[in-house]
Chains A and B, each alone.
Chain A
Amino acid sequence: MSIKSGYFKKILSVDLSSNACIFKNLPDDFLEEYIGGRGFGAKLVWDKLVECDFSIDPFGEENIVVIAPGPLTGTFLPSSGKCSFITISPSTGGYGDSSSGGSFGVELRQTGVDAVSITGKAEQLSILFIDDDEASVIPMPHLAGKSCLETEGIIKSHLKTHELAIAAIGAAGENKVKFACINNDWSRNAGRTGIGAVLGSKNLKAVVVRGSRDLPVYDIKGLMAEADKAYTYMRNHKYFEMWQREGLMNVMEYANTVGILPTYNFKDANFTKIKNINGETMVEKYKIGDSACFGCSMCCGNVCLIKQGKYIGTVTEGPEYESCAMLGSNLGVDNFEAVLSANRLCDELGLDTISTGNLIGAVIEGYEKGVLTLDDLDGSPITWGDEEAILALIRKIAYREGIGGILADGSLRLIETWPEMDKIVLQVKGLEQSAYDSRAGVSMALAYATSDIGAHHTRAWTIAKEIEQGKDWTPEEKVDLVIYHQTLRPLFDMLGVCRLPWIELGLNEKHYEKFYSYVTGKEAKLEELLQKSDAIYTITRLINTKLGMSRKDDTLPYKVYACPIQTGATAGKVVDREEFEKLLDVYYEKRGWDNDGIPKEMV
């Protein structure tokens, strides 16, 4: 049985160099095989690589950025506002993707396309405007240097409408900072792998969409009935109200308690001043509203306002857990107002808060240990909790000033410049590690090492389970869970929905086979969808393999092996190299890859 609905069967292909916007048909077997989102992206990036004989400069005109929601994006079911951005990443030189919530992906689909692919480079700074079935590239050089938030405002007044959606880059993207993000709906970010910098290299400041079409759904009554069950389940969950109240900020206390909270550049896993920067403090003193992505009842986003003091008037959407941990405890900052201000600054400049917080943490430790001199820091010292210096360094990164110019090229350039920094900065494949300390559980270390985009938790987040299971968990079980996560979590990105209802509230993943079937009219079992997601993981692995990655890159930061966690519930923990390598063997075997991590499809 084949696809009956769920797609417009169209992709908009934009070549900025020749100023061409062409709508192309997408064949049924493409839709069935790759589903959407990251699935489309991986396939299109692969095709581009084949066309370029596997040589793509991430900042070259030949690089491709795919913007792809999924067939479920914008449909009536929980948290359906997701959209993926896929490219060859300037951070890792390999496959890169990042997803973002909000309403952008919904509005994009309503223009009548399933995806957009962008190649080439515009002559001057421009925007891409997709207005239902008309697409055009409009030069707007006066947007140069404007913040992501300002850009939205300027475009809306220029186009004389408020009711559209915008994804924009800030100064960091224009300056090709290798961890620049794409900011949509004001403060929803496709944060990781530096896709904002790729758009910057293409002189594309923003993608603007306005659509009016019905999103194709095969059986809308069936979908509504199934969605009602899911919404009801979520509403009745014991943590539902807590999610509405604190959103992702509730993870701060959890991470601190179980000992996985990055603190002082992953020296500790527990922050003594946690009470100053936890969810409760946010709700009591700063929160002024909720912010939800399309169709989401959990509304994990928070809007905060600083009502007094030197940062008075600062409004921010967030912080969520990662931003608060990386810009807070990881930098020894216990002033929540400074965390909010740093978060807002990153939103304006279009910087990924995870990489930014991670790199600044490394700089502070590097300076403390004498690896970096005052000269290296352009004469401005920086220490734990020094909020002024941290905010100044964030700006220097975005504008590539002084040491900011080196940090802007990411952790690999930092290590290249000061080799001793390899023992200080935490990264895998060039992507800075996100805010869960993997020394607390080797399965999380495996997740970071084998993630196709580098040290990010988006592919697998097994740490909670490992802490729960303790020593009763066999290596096989650990590997199985990592692989299951690496298969199911990307499936959410392919379908165009958020994984939080599943991972946080335990919404049964079986719902998604029904959602898929009702939307596309093609009966599918979860297992079949997982097989398709697994095939995408093989493609992204093949991309990385072709670009020179193998077992030598499925590695862990020095600290994870060599420096035990100092304080907290996991104090003393460190990953045993031998145990990790054995786990990696099991992982490759279960994946069907050879001992060097090469998929058999390569042969």
Chain B
Amino acid sequence: MSKKIAVIPELCSGCRICELTCAIHHFTVNNPKKSAVRVIITYPHPVVRMPIICSQCKIPACAEACPVGALKKVDSIVELDKDLCISCMKCVEACPFGAIFAHSDVQHPIKCDMCGGDPLCVKNCPKGAIQLIPEQALGESKRINNVLSYAHMKEIEYMEKGEKKVIRYAEIGKEEL
């Protein structure tokens, strides 16, 4: 089963533990700038904390931009063949998400390899903001959130066995369109 890394920005606290574990695992150095993930924070307008990480695209723009064919889709991962790579960093610029990284000390572009199937960023995120899920589950949280925040829902509060409860319902046929 093909698994994908899913990012849930709403859960991210901006702690950057993902960056550090990635760098230590791949380069054995304590340097968050040498990682294949980077947390970008904007504040106060808009308030977003978002880890940027490779989506392992099925039609990878990075691979298309690579002049020597060093980036290839192998199984479900876009792999970098370091023997072929000429370190031109065209892939870094070509990625629409900026999810491939460059560093002056590192010869090759820094690209997510999914840690061989068990990504450390997923394992170490204290907030569950980076998850590994089956491909068909992508977008699941967005779908349920969308349903829960369905604009025409009404809300009533009531007590049940001394506990405050809320029920939500739609007034069929009465919504203004």
Interface residues of A (CB under 8 A from B): 74-76, 103, 106, 110, 149, 162-163, 185-187, 211-217, 220-221, 223-224, 231, 235, 244, 288-297, 299, 301, 303, 305, 315-317
Chain B, interface SS category: loop
Tally chain B residues at the interface, Cβ within 8 Å: 32
The residues of A that contact B49 with a CB separation of less than 8 Å are: 289, 291
The docked-state distance in angstroms from the alpha carbon of A75 to that of B105 is 19
The docked-state distance in angstroms from the alpha carbon of A110 to that of B17 is 16
The docked-state distance in angstroms from the alpha carbon of A305 to that of B10 is 14
Contact A220 B16 (CB under 8 A): no
Stretch at the interface among B39-47, B61-69, B134-142, B145-153: B39-47
Q: Does B126 contact A (CB under 8 A)?
A: yes
Contact A217 B44 (CB under 8 A): no
Contact A305 B47 (CB under 8 A): yes
The docked-state distance in angstroms from the alpha carbon of A187 to that of B17 is 20
Interface of chain B residues 1 through 38 with chain A (CB within 8 A):
10-17, 20-21, 24, 28-34, 38
The residues of A that contact B41 with a CB separation of less than 8 Å are: 185
Contact B17 A162 (CB under 8 A): no
Q: Does B82 contact A (CB under 8 A)?
A: no
Q: Does B103 contact A (CB under 8 A)?
A: yes
Q: Does B127 contact A (CB under 8 A)?
A: yes
The residue that B21 contacts in the complex, of A76, A214, A293, A305, with Cβ under 8 A, is: A76
Contact B13 A292 (CB under 8 A): yes
The residues of A that contact B14 with a CB separation of less than 8 Å are: 290-292
The docked-state distance in angstroms from the alpha carbon of A217 to that of B30 is 7
The residues of A that contact B15 with a CB separation of less than 8 Å are: 292-297, 299
The residue that A295 contacts in the complex, of B16, B43, B105, with Cβ under 8 A, is: B16
The residues of B that contact A231 with a CB separation of less than 8 Å are: 124, 126
Contact A212 B17 (CB under 8 A): no
With A220-B24, A292-B13, A299-B127 known as contacts, the answer to whether A187 contacts B43 (CB < 8 A) is: yes
Contact B127 A186 (CB under 8 A): no
Contact B43 A186 (CB under 8 A): yes
Beyond the given A74-B32, A244-B126, A295-B15, could you list 4 further A-B residue pairs with CB under 8 A, ordered by the A residue number? A292-B13, A293-B15, A295-B16, A297-B17
With A76-B21, A317-B43 known as contacts, the answer to whether A290 contacts B31 (CB < 8 A) is: no
Q: What would 10 A/B residue contacts be, using CB atoms closer than 8 Å? A: A76-B20, A110-B33, A162-B40, A163-B38, A211-B33, A212-B105, A221-B28, A290-B13, A290-B127, A315-B43
The residues of B that contact A185 with a CB separation of less than 8 Å are: 41
> Chain A's nearest CB lies how many Å from the CB of B17?
6
Task: Please list the 5 inter-chain residue pairs (A to B) with the smallest Cβ-Cβ separation, ordered nearest first.
Answer: A297-B126, A292-B15, A292-B13, A290-B13, A299-B13
The docked-state distance in angstroms from the alpha carbon of A75 to that of B21 is 10
The residues of A that contact B105 with a CB separation of less than 8 Å are: 212, 214
> Chain A's nearest CB lies how many Å from the CB of B168?
16
Contact A299 B43 (CB under 8 A): no
Contact B32 A244 (CB under 8 A): no
The docked-state distance in angstroms from the alpha carbon of A460 to that of B55 is 48
The residue that B30 contacts in the complex, of A74, A235, A293, with Cβ under 8 A, is: A74
Q: What are the interface flags for B67-86 relative to A under an 8 Å C-beta threshold, 1 for contact and 0 otherwise?
A: 00000000000000000000
> Chain B's nearest CB lies how many Å from the CB of A143?
18
The docked-state distance in angstroms from the alpha carbon of A220 to that of B103 is 20
Contact A106 B126 (CB under 8 A): no
The docked-state distance in angstroms from the alpha carbon of A305 to that of B14 is 18
The residues of A that contact B10 with a CB separation of less than 8 Å are: 289
Contact A294 B16 (CB under 8 A): yes
A313's nearest neighbour on chain B, judged by CB, is B45
> Chain B's nearest CB lies how many Å from the CB of A144?
21
The residues of B that contact A293 with a CB separation of less than 8 Å are: 15
Interface of chain B residues 109 through 138 with chain A (CB within 8 A):
124, 126-127
The residues of B that contact A74 with a CB separation of less than 8 Å are: 30, 32
The residue that A214 contacts in the complex, of B34, B38, B127, with Cβ under 8 A, is: B34
> Chain B's nearest CB lies how many Å from the CB of A268?
29
> Chain B's nearest CB lies how many Å from the CB of A159?
16
Contact B47 A289 (CB under 8 A): yes
With A162-B40, A291-B14 known as contacts, the answer to whether A110 contacts B127 (CB < 8 A) is: no
A162's nearest neighbour on chain B, judged by CB, is B40
Query: For A110, A187, A289, which residue has the most chain B Cβ atoms within 10 angstroms?
Result: A289
> Chain B's nearest CB lies how many Å from the CB of A545?
40
The residues of B that contact A187 with a CB separation of less than 8 Å are: 43
> Chain A's nearest CB lies how many Å from the CB of B22?
11
The residue that A244 contacts in the complex, of B21, B47, B127, with Cβ under 8 A, is: B127
The docked-state distance in angstroms from the alpha carbon of A499 to that of B11 is 24
Contact B28 A220 (CB under 8 A): yes
> Chain A's nearest CB lies how many Å from the CB of B2?
29
> Chain B's nearest CB lies how many Å from the CB of A453?
28
